[in-house]
Amino acid sequence: MTTPTPLQPARWSHPGVTLQRAHVQAMRAHVAAQAPLEACGLVAVHRGLSQRVYPIPNALASPVRYRLEPHAYLRALQDMDAHGWQVGLIYHSHPRGRPYPSAIDLAEATYPDAVYYIWAPVGQVWVARGYLLRAGRVQPVPVRWV
Ligand SMILES: [Zn+2]
């Protein structure tokens, strides 16, 4: 039995991310269309504001796991680089779960400064929450919509 990991908000400061509403709608449409499989993708951010959504195929085509398909992943990174944008969000869905990182999400997290944005259905509505995943720990991050 493991002890729940305490949140340590004082240690990690993050300004949060602001998403343009059309980008939120694009992500929601993507995760809803892929259910019951997990969906995944990236969101480019510049100066705290979302710039473009990159839906990326789930190479595992699984209801409980995801892996960004490498070629689409690379093309997205190249496009962001060409525009001077950052990988601001990495999103994926938990079609049968909660909008909270799984143990596997924590173990496989590779972007300490990006927001992991996790979508899950609550009733009939897909909702999402943002987190930093660093060194096996989870910290919620504010994600605003405009
Ligand atoms: Zn997950």
Nearest partner of 19 among 45, 54, 56, 41, judged by Cα: 45
Collapsed DSSP state (helix, strand, coil) of residue 87: strand
What are the two backbone dihedrals, phi and then psi, of residue 137, each rounded to the nearest 5 degrees?
-120, 160
pTM of the model: 0.91
Phi, psi of 108 (to 5 degrees): -100, 0
Q: How far apart are CA 36 and CA 22, in angstroms?
A: 23
Separation of CA 96 and ligand 1 centre (Å):
10
Separation of 94 CA from ligand 1 center, angstroms? 6
What pLDDT was estimated at residue 14? 85
Other beta carbons less than 10 A from residue 142's beta carbon: 11
CA of 119 to the centre of ligand 1 (A): 9
Q: In which residue ranges of the chain is pLDDT below 70?
A: 1-11
- pLDDT on residue 5: 55
Backbone angles phi, psi at 103, to 5 degrees: -60, -35
What is the CA(84)–ligand 1 centre distance, in A?
Answer: 28
Which domains does the chain carry?
34-145 (3.40.140.10)
User: How many A from CA of 6 to the centre of ligand 1?
Assistant: 19
Which pLDDT does position 129 carry in this prediction?
97
User: Tell me, what's the pLDDT at 62?
Assistant: 97
pLDDT at position 1 is 45
